[in-house]
Structure 1
């Protein structure tokens, strides 16, 4: 378990740099798109701006008429994009190496950070290498694990090979958990560094519990509300959540199941479990109310690189039942702030849910310890860690690469 230290100590250990750095951050997803990558990356950008760094955000244009934000606190460079199959609300960045080389040759970033490995990310990597700029990257999505859930299991090895090539061309790849870092190293990934995720403990907090919201789900204080949060898609293993709900109802008839999120599996899940409540995608402030007003978070996914839902639920005082992987493996304490089932053992997961429904007092007792596990894990800490990685990579790069002067502006 990584040691969580106070904000003051971290600020002393990782003081904001002077003068500020010019950082180019490249991503193919950004709010208002709702997914873990977009939300956590926006926190990273905000954190670096607060630490006196100048950020240039490079991302696909989300609508045809969209213009870069004027008051975001950072510069935006909008590139061409196209809808992602099955997720038309999300965009995939199109190649743009020539445009990036031209922009970065005129105004060189001190470092390029690439958050996604799509065509835009690959173009940014090639442009940065051509200009001999230091590059870091994030490993944020298990695309190779997703392939088997879409009948494309045969693509797993080529996808891993591409991701390995991509990340090994950067000076450092930031990974959110030690377990995933070890897995990547065993697959030939180099220069990996564990940097955890943070959580907004002021937004996600237990005192937002709302009786009226529970009543809208058909629940009172004697009911048990099981909450599932995230994309409704095959790779999220949501049939196990429904199995757990069915087992809980056998022991506690007033159990309610609420799905927060949307995706291609929504209609199939509705047909599979007509008793469940589906509320669709929600803003972060609305989501905070849902977490605080539920009793148990069911998180059965086996394809997460991290799983922000885990930290958000814990911060809200909501115990989590998850498999022993990703964020749950590092931040849950079994039988204390939540419950862990062996990875891939659906029967054990369902049995644990059944036992908890038979003894709901155990769930209630875990609320305070859940909050306590993450109350100090704020985003300022993560911003300081990321800044330290940037500074280290730049120092290593400068030791081996002669300084290249920018071209004069005309």
Structure 2
């Protein structure tokens, strides 16, 4: 790869990339992540979409991730090369791996195969090592803010770690040239917390996979529901940070009014046994993928999503694309996409009682509920991944352009310019 000696300089102002042209030349991109399919989570899915999109746009992608198990083998194909690093299981998340300190290995790798730009998707030990290696080699580097680890700490009895976790995340991201965030609300929140060089790059949804056309009468019959019965769906981790107490309260209130209503839960996690005990008549489908997952979405009617720890919430857009009415708090993707009473239902943050009341009201009128789902699907049609990839590509190009400028030169800003 071509050598690049430009130093990464801090940006004085926020950065404007929304009007920059898409990158026109082939880039060599080192993409570092500590989660990737077949691991099942929203971060892994989104990263895979971006990596695949960059590859389709004729960029050379070097994907660096932890080895997931002994049988895991690095994939190689034209313009795509996986580098598997040592990893360890994550406590309480046995199906996920985390990286280990690897600066020396990455310095050696990038000295021999120098990328044009390094993108770091996760902030664990592997991500920190990648940041240190990139700065050591004076490589342009940018990052993602994808998971609210600081918010999760409050749900696992370690709320006292909130401040040190935020300090670490701020230090991590402020050493990169740009941090991409999925919503304007999150950009503002992080900006107020002292994060710099933030740029909004939203997320898309695959409307070919997630579609009302995936609705399955056979699946509904397996669930024991008739055509005019209400199916409430939850998809996601079954874990404390997902606020499942509110999910339970909402469905209990629905069931008291409609004994035929059915709760379907897709996912797994440490609170599985507790939730099963609370809802013995619910359908617990476990983890689902591909067309099977799409059928579970489309065969429901009302999507209940009470989480308050998302950076975006891919399940929100997947449910909308599948033609479901979504009930969520006014937060993350839901706040960005849902207009209450038009294409879904929003409740003020932390108003658990309001969430329960809205769930009961939606369940009381199945016709209106399904009409919201029709409009939700129309909204999702505009969330095209190709435009998201083009914007992501534009941020990478802007980071590289700024890194190539002489010391002290004030460039265009990398985040989006907003009035005070």
Same fold (TM over 0.5): yes
Q: Which residue of 2 aligns with 1:4?
A: none
> Displacement of 1:301 after TM fit?
0.1
> Paired residue for 1:188?
194
Q: Report if the CA contact (8 A) 1:23-1:113 is conserved.
A: yes
2:165 is matched with which residue?
A: 159
- Residue 54 of structure 1 aligns with which residue? 60
Matching of residues 127-138 of structure 1 within 5 Å? 127-138=133-144
- 2:267 matches 1:261: yes
Go from structure 1 to structure 2 and tell me whether the alpha carbon gap of 1:26 and 1:314 turns closer, same or farther (over 3 Å shift).
same
Residue 331 (str. 1) matches residue 330 (str. 2): no
Tell me which of 72, 75, 79 is aligned to 1:69.
75
Q: Which moved more, 1:167-176 or 1:72-81?
A: 72-81
Deviation track 1:78-114 (CA, whole Å, cap 9, x = no partner) reads 1000000011111000110001001101121000000
Tell me the CA shift for residue 14 of structure 1: 7.0
Larger mean Cα displacement after TM superposition, 363-372 or 52-61: 363-372
Q: 1:302 to 1:378 in 2, by over 3 A?
A: same
**Tell me, which stretches of 5 or more residues in structure 1 are unaligned?**
1-12, 403-410
Q: Which moved more, 1:281-290 or 1:254-263?
A: 281-290
Change beyond 3 A, Cα 1:343–1:137:
same
Q: 1:50–1:401: structure 2 CA closer, same or farther, 3 Å change rule? A: farther
Alignment CA distance shift 1:72-1:19 (3 Å): closer
Matches of 2:75 and 2:109, distance apart in 1: 18
Contact 2:324 2:370 in 1 (8 A): no
Kindly indicate whether residue 131 of structure 2 is the aligned counterpart of residue 120 of structure 1. Answer: no
Q: Is the 8 A contact 1:17 1:52 kept in 2?
A: no
307, 323, 326: which one pairs with 2:313?
307
Give yes or no for contact 1:249–1:357 (8 Å, CA) kept in 2: no
Q: Tell me how far apart the structure 1 counterparts of residues 407 and 214 of structure 2 sit (CA, whole Å).
A: 52
In the alignment, does 2:245 pair up with 1:236?
no
For residue 123 of structure 1, report the CA deviation from its aligned partner: 0.1
What is the distance in 1 between the residues matched to 2:263 and 2:25?
52
RMSD across aligned positions (CA): 1.5
Which residue, 204, 208, 215 being the options, matches 2:210? 204
Unaligned runs of 5+ in 2: 1-18, 409-420
Task: Spell out the pairing of 1:3-402 with structure 2 (5 A cutoff).
Answer: 17-71=23-77, 74-400=80-406
Shift of 1:18: 4.1
Cα separation, partners in 2 of 1:170 and 1:42, compared to 1, 3 Å: same
Residue 7 of structure 1 is matched in structure 2 by none
**Equivalent residue pairs, number:** 391
Asked if 1 retains the 8 angstrom alpha-carbon contact of 2:22 and 2:394, the reply is no
CA deviation string 1:270-319 (max 9, x = no partner): 11111211010011221110111100000000000000001001111111
SS at match of 1:356: helix
| Structure 1 counterpart SS, 2:96 | strand
* Counterpart secondary structure, 2:368: helix
Provide the rounded CA distance (Å) in 1 between the counterparts of 2:20 and 2:267: 37
C-alpha contact 1:14 1:384 (8 A) present in aligned 2: no
Rounded Cα–Cα distance in structure 2 between residues aligned with 1:400 and 1:303: 41
1:366 aligned counterpart, secondary structure: helix
